[in-house]
Chain A
Amino acid sequence: MRLRLAVEWVLIGMFATSILVAALHWKGTASFDHLLYDQLTAAQRPAADGDILIVAIDDPSLLALGKWPWDRKLHARLIRKIQGKQPRAIFFDILLSERSEPQADQSLAAAMASGPAPLFIPLHFSTPGNNGHDYDTIFPVPAFVQAASGLGHVNIAFDDDGIVRRTSLCFAPDPDGKSWPHLMTLTAKADRADITGPRCAVPRLIPYSHRGSFAEISYADLLAGEVPDALIRNKFIIIGATAAGMGDNFPTPNGEGGMLSGVEIMANVLAATRRGDFIRPLSDIPTYALSLLPMWVLMIIFLRFRPQLVLTISLATLIGILAVSILLLTNRIWFPPGTALLGVLMVYPLWGWRRLQAISTFMDTELRSFDQSDDMRVWPISYSQATDIVGRQSEALAHAIDHMRDLRRFVSDTLADLPDPMFVTDPDDRVTLTNKLLDERLGVDIYGRLLTDALDLMVVAEQRPQVDRYLGQPPKKDQEFVRFVSPAQLTFVMRRSEVRSDSGDLRGHIHYLTDITALAKAEVDREEVLQLLSHDMRAPQSTIIALLDSPINADAKKRIEQNARRTMQLAQDFVEIARMGESDFGGEDVLLVDLVRESADSLWPLAHERGIRFSFHDTSDSAFVCAEPESLHRAMCNLIDNAIKFSPDNGVIRVEISHHAKAYVAVTISDQGSGIDADILPALFSRFATTRHQTGRFRGVGLGLAFVHAVITRHKGSVTAQNGENGGARFTVTLPEARDE
């Protein structure tokens, strides 16, 4: 893509350059340039030179003096009349290349030579010249040449459109090696020697004053003496034809509705010479440079800037070119901007077109390769058949974008619905993606956090080192996963895998979590079962076996029975606890106070035997709980049984049923026994803790308290134990109240 564009760029540059060079060489933009030049110069015309007076051979003169050519004596009279009024110089612009009557010629020559002001006459050229010359120089009759103060050409140059804009101030050397100055230069010099005409290699452009703005008097009027002397004194007098019929009229820029007479053009040339403000056309090399430069600048800009900007820059360049041209013109230098403008106008669409073409081709290739890479083809892409290539491409692109969008959606949906929690981190170890399950399971939002911060929230502090060790190990891992416990006491296994791009760069990591809380619990359970079988159940059995070796008296019998019953009770409790974990909770409304009372009632014989009394305090206001009555009853029985067991004879067991917090009911059972050993208090309700402590108060309690804990937990309540202020144990069961809807 880049290379192709670079080639296109060079080709466009070369193509445009050659077009521009051709245009410059063959003046392809001349019409435009002329038009522009005319408009620009029209805006600022010099005021007419007041020192110049035109004596016009106009239509009224022809009417008064008869038809042309006139008798040269007439001219002689005129010249003498003018000379008599002290003009500064006279330019006599009338063709004198043939002889007329000798007497008349003599009279004119004499008048011309009379002075005091210098008098100049023109010489002419005829093109093409004889003998293979470009032109022949046609001199006036020698008598006149001698009589005149100077001889020079009055050549004007016609542009391609036939308009007179310039004049060659000096004419190339003729075959005789003589180079003629412009007559107007001579005229001006005659007045002020310091005036140097401009170098004359290139024709100069004439700054025209408004048509008719030079002072002009009629030949006939002057001859008739109707002109005041003051009008002529100290003036440059130009005598020549202005009458329409005389053929000495030329088209000039902004001719303002007519042609300009040769004499008026000469007046303008003279004025410009005197002011020294001819406009010089820019010479070839700078012209070429200025014409090509903007185009290339633009080409370089094309490479650098965004397409939207390029249009603005192109327009700015166009204006810039015009501005430069105008600026130069005010400095009397003419740079035709047409070609430069053409370059800009040409290169912008060219480049746009080629680039579009290149992009189109690129897109086509890419789309084709996208279409063919079917490693993630979840849905088929269907192309409708648009007729044109751009239509097809846009459609293909739209499809590709749709496809990517679907794919992204699909991926995020898939991630969100993954059966396990997961999250993704970027190479900077920031969490960039999480799924629904992760938020749910962890109960924290780690999105956008750094991995270390996220782990602080996810992992209990003690296990951070092992997690860090796992994450810190090199890619080729020895350890496939790490196990940790979350602050919410859920157990997870985390696996991490790397994500790499096609080119092998690390894009980040995916972390998969698996909630193995149930599994971990099962492990603990199995441990406990093993403990139960290996120790707790074996111990009484071995006692029995040992007792069997001794004589079986009444005492031995009693002890054997005790041990057998203990084993039985253990097995029974164990089965019940296990069963509870397997079935769903099916509660019904139960009046808690009655349930507690009945539990006490059923243990009354046991209490009664030892003179133990119950003291009930019910402030629960007939609170109901949603309960499985049998198991809750048994749990209460266990607690009361426990209290009875450790109460002293004739003691009182206080049973309190009261509201606890909002929407909870509490049952508190306090005895007057010796209390609970502090060392086993924390683990009192864990399933096998009690059986492991074979000394002290809880010896032989079996699974009773574990059962209580299991039941109360199942009822979404809690059970706690503590020692009362006056000694004795106090168990508190808290259950959610079942409100009557």
Chain B
Amino acid sequence: MRVVIADDETDVVAFLKSIVEEMGHIAVSYADGNILAQALMRETFDLVILDWNIPGKDGIALLKWMQSALPDHPPVIMMTNRSAKKDISDALNAGADDYITKPEDRSVVAARINAMLRRNAGAGAFDTEAVYGKYHLNRLDQNVTVNGRSITMTAKEFELADLFFRNADRTLSRNYIMETIWRTNAILATRTLDMHISRVRAKLDLQPENGFRIFTVFGYGYRLETIATSN
């Protein structure tokens, strides 16, 4: 999972990053509201932890912008020193999914983040087996079967397929995919990703006839779309 932390206080950022990475997720941080907004347009995140008072564009304004400009935006946890009931309700009304007042215990923050990520991961995201249309995924064996026929895949191909199925109909940025699957910030040769996706597409025969299509969003990333078929 990929978490973006928007705060200009380096101590807070370090604190949150350590929590996220301890849980085995990826943490990215921004100290400016405008830059964050641009990143949100270009890339995919699973959770935004947003400071109320961030330079550039403050938390509430960002929330409102995300509501209107990014209908598919990730969940947001607002973090602030404010604890007034009015502030909390304002934030939640503006579109925040949770609210944490600083300072808060490490374990509490970790629990809140974990809960939010799980809630958003989709049904069956963490089960050992999942069924998406014709496709049966066994996460323990890293194995996919279609109509009872087992399909041989490499670990990375399986992870990629799994990522797409779990995030069906959600557009994933190339960076998101690469960091999630390859766990690296290093820029992979862009062709590596293209070729993996091509292989997954070919092996699983992901095409409208089989209820799915992989759709390239040029300049951004990919989306696995489910096709409503008549039969």
Interface string of B209-228 (1 = CB under 8 A from A): 10001111011000000010
Knowing A594-B201, A629-B216 touch, does A589 contact B190 (C-beta < 8 A)?
yes
| Chain B residues numbered 101-152 whose CB sits less than 8 Å from any CB in chain A | none
Q: Which of B191, B197, B201, B207 contacts A624 (CB 8 A)?
A: B191
Shortest Cβ gap from B195 to chain A (Å): 5
A245 at the interface (CB under 8 A from B): no
The interface residues of chain A lying within 8 Å CB-to-CB of B198 are 591, 593-594, 622
**Contact stretch, chosen from A132-140, A394-402, A576-584, A601-609:** A601-609
A248 at the interface (CB under 8 A from B): no
Cα–Cα, bound, A595→B215 (Å): 9
Shortest Cβ gap from B100 to chain A (Å): 41
Instruction: Evaluate contact between B209 and A594: CB separation under 8 angstroms.
Output: no
Cα–Cα, bound, A384→B197 (Å): 81
Instruction: Evaluate contact between A601 and B215: CB separation under 8 angstroms.
Output: yes
Instruction: Evaluate contact between A604 and B209: CB separation under 8 angstroms.
Output: yes
The interface residues of chain B lying within 8 Å CB-to-CB of A591 are 191, 194-195, 198
Shortest Cβ gap from B175 to chain A (Å): 16
The interface residues of chain B lying within 8 Å CB-to-CB of A633 are 218
CB-based nearest A residue for B214: A598
A630 at the interface (CB under 8 A from B): yes
Instruction: Evaluate contact between B208 and A604: CB separation under 8 angstroms.
Output: yes
Knowing A629-B216, A629-B218 touch, does A594 contact B208 (C-beta < 8 A)?
no
CB-based nearest B residue for A595: B216
The interface residues of chain B lying within 8 Å CB-to-CB of A505 are none
Cα–Cα, bound, A229→B190 (Å): 145
Cα–Cα, bound, A597→B201 (Å): 10
CB-based nearest A residue for B218: A629
A740 at the interface (CB under 8 A from B): yes
Cα–Cα, bound, A98→B131 (Å): 180
The interface residues of chain A lying within 8 Å CB-to-CB of B190 are 589
The interface residues of chain B lying within 8 Å CB-to-CB of A622 are 195, 198
The interface residues of chain A lying within 8 Å CB-to-CB of B197 are 594
Shortest Cβ gap from A739 to chain B (Å): 11
The interface residues of chain B lying within 8 Å CB-to-CB of A598 are 213-216
CB-based nearest B residue for A613: B209
Cα–Cα, bound, A549→B17 (Å): 71
Q: Which of A595, A601, A624, A630 contacts B208 (CB 8 A)?
A: A601
Instruction: Evaluate contact between B208 and A605: CB separation under 8 angstroms.
Output: yes
Q: Which of A595, A597, A629 contacts B207 (CB 8 A)?
A: A597
CB-based nearest A residue for B219: A629
The interface residues of chain B lying within 8 Å CB-to-CB of A590 are 194
Q: Which of A589, A594, A604 contacts B216 (CB 8 A)?
A: A594
Shortest Cβ gap from B3 to chain A (Å): 29
Cα–Cα, bound, A602→B208 (Å): 9
Interface string of A614-630 (1 = CB under 8 A from B): 00001000101000011
Knowing A598-B215, A629-B216, A629-B218 touch, does A589 contact B209 (C-beta < 8 A)?
no
Shortest Cβ gap from B89 to chain A (Å): 44
Knowing A597-B201, A597-B207 touch, does A604 contact B195 (C-beta < 8 A)?
no
| Chain B residues numbered 75-95 whose CB sits less than 8 Å from any CB in chain A | none
Most chain-A CB neighbours within 10 Å: which of B191, B209, B216? B216
Cα–Cα, bound, A594→B198 (Å): 6
The interface residues of chain B lying within 8 Å CB-to-CB of A740 are 189, 191
The interface residues of chain B lying within 8 Å CB-to-CB of A593 are 198
Cα–Cα, bound, A591→B218 (Å): 12
Cα–Cα, bound, A595→B217 (Å): 11
The interface residues of chain A lying within 8 Å CB-to-CB of B209 are 604, 608
Cα–Cα, bound, A602→B202 (Å): 16
The interface residues of chain A lying within 8 Å CB-to-CB of B216 are 594-595, 598, 629
The interface residues of chain A lying within 8 Å CB-to-CB of B189 are 740
Instruction: Evaluate contact between B213 and A601: CB separation under 8 angstroms.
Output: yes
Instruction: Evaluate contact between A608 and B208: CB separation under 8 angstroms.
Output: yes
Instruction: Evaluate contact between A594 and B218: CB separation under 8 angstroms.
Output: no
Shortest Cβ gap from B158 to chain A (Å): 19
The interface residues of chain B lying within 8 Å CB-to-CB of A629 are 216, 218-219
CB-based nearest B residue for A604: B208
Cα–Cα, bound, A608→B207 (Å): 12
Most chain-A CB neighbours within 10 Å: which of B190, B194, B197? B194
Cα–Cα, bound, A214→B181 (Å): 141
CB-based nearest A residue for B205: A616
CB-based nearest A residue for B227: A604
Cα–Cα, bound, A614→B189 (Å): 31
Cα–Cα, bound, A602→B217 (Å): 13
Shortest Cβ gap from A336 to chain B (Å): 109
Knowing A594-B197, A740-B191 touch, does A604 contact B218 (C-beta < 8 A)?
no
The interface residues of chain A lying within 8 Å CB-to-CB of B195 are 591, 622
CB-based nearest A residue for B197: A594
Cα–Cα, bound, A618→B205 (Å): 13
Shortest Cβ gap from A608 to chain B (Å): 7
CB-based nearest B residue for A632: B218
Instruction: Evaluate contact between B194 and A601: CB separation under 8 angstroms.
Output: no
Cα–Cα, bound, A601→B212 (Å): 9
The interface residues of chain B lying within 8 Å CB-to-CB of A589 are 190-191, 194
The 5 lowest CB-CB distance pairs between A and B, nearest first, are A604-B208, A601-B213, A629-B218, A591-B194, A594-B198
Question: Could you write out 27 A-B pairs with CB less than 8 Å apart?
Answer: A589-B190, A589-B191, A590-B194, A591-B194, A591-B195, A593-B198, A594-B198, A594-B201, A594-B214, A595-B216, A597-B201, A597-B207, A598-B213, A598-B215, A598-B216, A601-B208, A602-B213, A602-B215, A604-B209, A604-B213, A622-B195, A624-B194, A629-B218, A629-B219, A630-B218, A633-B218, A740-B189
Additional A-B contact list (6), CB under 8 Å, known A591-B198, A598-B215, A605-B208: A591-B194, A593-B198, A601-B208, A604-B208, A604-B209, A633-B218
